[in-house]
Amino acid sequence: MAKVTIVGAGQTGATTAHWLAERELADLVLVDVVEGMPQGKALDLTQAMPVVGSDVLVAGSNGFAETAGSDIVVITAGLPRKPGMSRDDLLEANSAIVREAVQASLQASPEAILIILTNPLDAMAYLAMKVGGLPRERVIGQAGILDSARMRSFVARELGVSVQNVHCYVLGGHGDDMVPLTRHSNVAGVPLTEALTPERLAAIVERTRKGGGEIVSLLKTGSAFYAPAAALAQMVEAILRDRHLTVPAAAYLEGEYGQRGIFFGVPVQLGAGGLEKIVEYDLNAEERAALQASAGRVRETIEALKL
Ligand code: NAD
């Protein structure tokens, strides 16, 4: 059985464990600094396994010894946003947490592939790659599956069709200037630009960009976790099952999309080795300009890391 560690057993980490345990993909280790909490959640999840019929082991720990030999380490440790905060406001506090989590994880599992969730996402993925001294194949950030799933859910409800018929691609940085690519998105093969009026499409694009903030202002005490965790589970599954699955996610760019030296949301193919390739879309001038603006914001946040 493969082994997956989830660092940070809070809302997103524990929910990721839940989605993964049900799929019987890997034994799981939950790590958190809060004493007893990861152990308690792991025990609870273990006791759900007879009911759902899954033979995976779930352990909880406040240290990394039990994580040794993990194939994948998912990092969700860090503070979430409060109402009125931007993701960038989390930079300072979360850099220290992610740095420590990456170092300890790699010490226990030197071959692991890292999947990062902690915000500000693009900067935290960059930090993880640099601190770990890893090749770009082994560090991927989750943002695009979530942002695209938000858009897919809005389109499906608007048109009264199955979510399975709706394909959307939201690229760029994981901030309010992310880039929903309407021309590349479609409903059962019909481009979104034909399936919806320009006004309805614009409203969905706007709601997608602010989708994280909408949930933060409703919850008041944290940020979204079901959909982010489902996205993480899809990435873990694509790697463990060597699916060669293309999804939008944050990858380190080396010239793709005209960008170099930043993590940025692009379509990536995931398989056993982690990042297998970056798919490059044909973009028009408007789409290129929107991505360029988003890349500028990501670059500023990465520079603020002062690495
Ligand atoms: P949460 O507060 O529920 O959980 C975070 C957990 O991390 C807490 O249990 C905390 O004790 C733990 N932690 C803190 N320092 C740690 C350390 N050094 N080692 C191990 N664990 C540590 O928050 P959440 O809702 O799970 O969100 C986690 C992070 O993910 C936040 O930064 C949030 O902004 C981000 N997030 C990103 C996306 C995305 O799409 N990229 C989506 C949702 C949340």
106 Cβ inside 6 Å of ligand 1: no
Can you name the CATH fold of 144-304? L-2-Hydroxyisocaproate Dehydrogenase; Chain A, domain 2 (3.90.110)
265 Cβ inside 6 Å of ligand 1: no
The model's pTM is 0.98
In the chain, where does the domain assigned CATH 3.90.110.10 lie?
144-304
Class of the CATH-defined domain 3-141: alpha beta
Tell me which residue of 60, 56, 64 sits closest to 13, measured CA to CA. Answer: 60
Q: What are the Cα distances from residue 66, in Å, to 4, 47, 85, 138, 237?
A: 11, 20, 35, 21, 21
Mutate to test the pocket of ligand 1, among 6, 29, 33 (most ligand atoms within 8 A of CB): 33
In the chain, where does the domain assigned CATH 3.40.50.720 lie?
3-141
pLDDT tens series, the chain, 307 aa: 999 999 999 999 999 999 999 999 999 999 999 999 999 999 999 999 999 999 999 999 999 999 999 999 999 999 988 888 888 889 999 999 999 999 999 999 999 999 999 999 999 999 999 999 999 999 999 999 999 999 999 999 999 999 999 999 999 999 889 999 999 999 999 999 999 999 999 999 999 999 999 999 999 999 999 999 999 999 999 999 999 999 999 999 999 999 999 999 999 999 999 999 999 999 999 999 999 999 999 999 999 999 8
User: Residue 291 is encoded by which pair of tokens?
Assistant: 């991505």
User: Residue 6 is encoded by which pair of tokens?
Assistant: 């989830």
148 Cβ inside 6 Å of ligand 1: no
Q: How far apart (Å, rounded) are the C-alpha atoms in residues 266 and 151?
A: 16
Residue 61: HSE in the Cβ half-sphere, 13 Å Cα cutoff: 14
Mutate to test the pocket of ligand 1, among 61, 76, 103, 126 (most ligand atoms within 8 A of CB): 76
Indicate which residue of 167, 174, 184, 244 is catalytic. Answer: 174
